[in-house]
């Protein structure tokens, strides 16, 4: 049987397969779920369309869903994050229809989403809510057959909550991002490490001793700041939320407005989920040689059109590093076209954290099949028992033992009479 696909080069499959196996070795929780799914087949015959970053880790999620009996199709959730050897292996070795090419233009990106919807999914998985948005706009005929949808990332959850408030959502959605075993680890340690990895692969520059500005102090930004600090940078945070700003100060960072940080910045990395965090007026005062990149979901955090308009010339000086020369001769270096730097110039989060994120995805898909009828057209958290299960399985796989409450301690916690 031919497997539907639109990918770069099927000949890359052998390399992709090796890399998928390498990732699998550091994904013990997903492996356990896959072993159970192979026996229980909780997703037997369920059509799933997953619009995710197509990486080695995502391939292992695909193998898990497939083991559960799902009839799966993949499409890219970002034009620049696809790993072309992985798409080749997904098609050639695992028989999973895949529509994703690294560097695809906007038209192809949406054609790939359409191809995924042509699979008539009963469950959609999103990283940024583009697939579910396209479904609700163009394929309302699919709604009656839907078990529901899952969402991987903060930006997508924000979009979906806005849709739920407007009554646009027509089936239950599970906010995988909000599971503790997702955002505490993937967003913080995953983004922290992979963002630095992307910056280093693109620039090969030193971080120690530099002024490293991070836009935002949410989970992802905290991780980036923590790792930059660990490498010897002097970290500056820009924030609009007073609690987060305070936390950043007490974590040892300076906090100031972006316009004040721009003239002293050696690096500026955005991770806010909002637009034009670095704007025209910031480019006007940036020092010569400043390196800028984005680690938020969409490529709107840096006002790239303004930079392009202001520049007198531009060239790609290294892969993923675009030099813009301003009228007074100052140079600004934009990494990865302002798209998620960890997935454009590096390989995304390491497998060990994606293990927990994608365990939540697999368990949420199973949950939707079992419980969809009891749910409303709302955004739901991952059920706490599943989140907890992921944590327990991860600890077990890491060989870490916790303490247990004694009966006396248990009783103490549930009584109110003991006092001074
Ligand atoms: N998002 C961030 N890193 C990722 C990875 N390695 N795979 C899939 N999605 C990701």
Per-residue pLDDT of the chain (420 residues; tens, 9 = 90+): 699 999 999 999 999 999 999 999 999 999 999 999 999 999 999 999 999 999 999 999 999 999 999 999 999 999 999 999 999 999 999 999 999 999 999 999 999 999 999 999 999 999 999 999 999 999 999 999 999 999 999 999 999 999 999 999 999 999 999 999 999 999 999 999 999 999 999 999 999 999 999 999 999 999 999 999 999 999 999 999 999 999 999 999 999 999 999 999 999 999 999 999 999 999 999 999 999 999 999 999 999 999 999 999 999 999 999 999 999 999 999 999 999 999 999 999 999 999 999 999 999 999 999 999 999 999 999 999 999 999 999 999 999 999 999 999 999 999 988 777
Q: Is the CB of 57 under 6 A from ligand 1?
A: yes
CA of 394 to the centre of ligand 1 (A): 18
Question: Could you identify the atom of ligand 1 that is nearest to the CA of residue 351?
Answer: 6
- Residue 419's pLDDT is 77
CA of 208 to the centre of ligand 1 (A): 27
Q: Is the CB of 58 under 6 A from ligand 1?
A: yes
Domains of the chain: 5-182+349-398 (3.40.50.1480), 189-344 (3.40.50.720)
- Residue 311's pLDDT is 98
Helices 154-165 and 130-138: crossing angle in degrees, nearest 10, is 30
- Residue 416's pLDDT is 86
- Residue 420's pLDDT is 78
User: What tokens appear for 57 in the block?
Assistant: 């880790």
CA of 297 to the centre of ligand 1 (A): 11
- Residue 389's pLDDT is 98
Angle at 83 between CA 214 and CA 338, to 5 degrees: 30
Closest CA to 354 of 201, 153, 100: 153
Among 52, 54, 55, 355, say which to mutate for ligand 1: greatest number of ligand atoms within 8 Å of CB: 55
Measured between alpha carbons, how far is 208 from 164 in angstroms, rounded to an integer? 45
SS3 for the chain is CCCCEECCCHHHHHHHHHHHHHHHHCCHHHHHHHHHHHHHCCCCCCEEEEEECCCHHHHHHHHHHHHCCCEEEEEECCCCCCCHHHHHHHHHCCCCCEECCCCCCHHHHHHHHHHHHCCCCCEEEECCCHHHHHHHHHCHHHHHHCCEEEECCHHHHHHHHHHHHCCCCCCCEEEHHHCHHHHHHHHHHHHHHHHHHHHHHHHCCCCCCCEEEEECCCHHHHHHHHHHHHCCCEEEEECCCHHHHHHHHHCCCEECCHHHHHHHCCEEEECCCCCCCECHHHHHHCCCCEEEEECCCCCCCECHHHHHHHCCEEEEEECCEEEEECCCCCEEEEEHHHCCHHHHCCCCCCHHHHHHHHHHHHHHHHHHHHHHHHCCCCEEECCHHHHHHHHHHHHHHHCCCCCCCCHHHHHHHHCCCCCC
């Amino acid at each position: 049987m031919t497997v539907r696909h639109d990918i770069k080069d099927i000949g890359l499959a052998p390399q992709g397969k090796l890399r998928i196996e390498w990732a699998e070795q550091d994904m013990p929780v997903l492996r356990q779920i896959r072993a159970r799914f192979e026996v229980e087949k909780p997703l037997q015959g369920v059509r799933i369309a997953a619009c995710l970053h197509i990486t080695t880790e995502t391939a292992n999620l695909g193998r898990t869903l497939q083991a559960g009996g799902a009839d799966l199709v993949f499409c890219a959730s970002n034009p620049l994050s696809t790993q072309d050897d992985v798409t080749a292996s997904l098609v050639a070795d695992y028989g999973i229809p895949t529509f994703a090419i690294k560097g695809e233009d906007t038209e192809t990106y949406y054609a790939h989403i359409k191809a995924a919807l042509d699979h008539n999914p009963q469950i959609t998985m999103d990283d940024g809510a583009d697939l579910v948005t396209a479904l609700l706009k163009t394929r309302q005929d699919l709604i009656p057959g839907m078990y529901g949808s899952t969402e991987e990332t903060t930006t997508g959850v924000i979009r979906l909550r806005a849709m739920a408030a407007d009554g646009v959502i027509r089936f239950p959605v599970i906010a995988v991002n909000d599971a503790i075993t997702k955002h505490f680890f993937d967003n913080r340690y995953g983004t922290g490490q992979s963002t630095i990895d992307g910056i280093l692969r693109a620039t090969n520059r030193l971080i120690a001793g530099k002024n490293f500005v991070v836009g935002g102090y949410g989970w992802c930004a905290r991780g980036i700041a923590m790792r930059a600090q660990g490498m010897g940078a002097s970290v500056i945070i820009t924030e609009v939320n007073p609690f987060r700003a305070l936390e950043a100060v007490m974590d040892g960072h300076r906090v100031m407005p972006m316009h004040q940080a721009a003239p002293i910045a050696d690096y500026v990395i955005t991770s806010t989920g909002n637009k034009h965090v670095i704007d025209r007026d910031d480019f006007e005062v940036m020092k010569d040689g400043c390196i800028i990149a984005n680690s938020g979901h969409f490529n709107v955090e840096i006002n790239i059109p303004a930079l392009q308009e202001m520049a007198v010339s531009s060239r790609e000086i290294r892969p993923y590093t675009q030099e813009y020369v301003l009228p007074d001769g100052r140079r600004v270096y934009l990494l990865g076209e302002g798209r998620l730097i960890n997935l454009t110039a590096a390989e995304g989060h390491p497998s060990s954290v994606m293990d927990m994120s994608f365990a939540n995805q697999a368990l949420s898909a199973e949950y939707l099949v079992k419980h969809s009828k009891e749910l409303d057209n709302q955004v739901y958290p991952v059920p706490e028992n599943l989140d907890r299960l992921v944590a327990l399985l991860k600890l077990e796989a890491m060989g870490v033992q916790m303490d247990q409450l004694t009966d006396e301690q248990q009783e103490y916690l549930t009584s109110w009479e003991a006092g001074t």
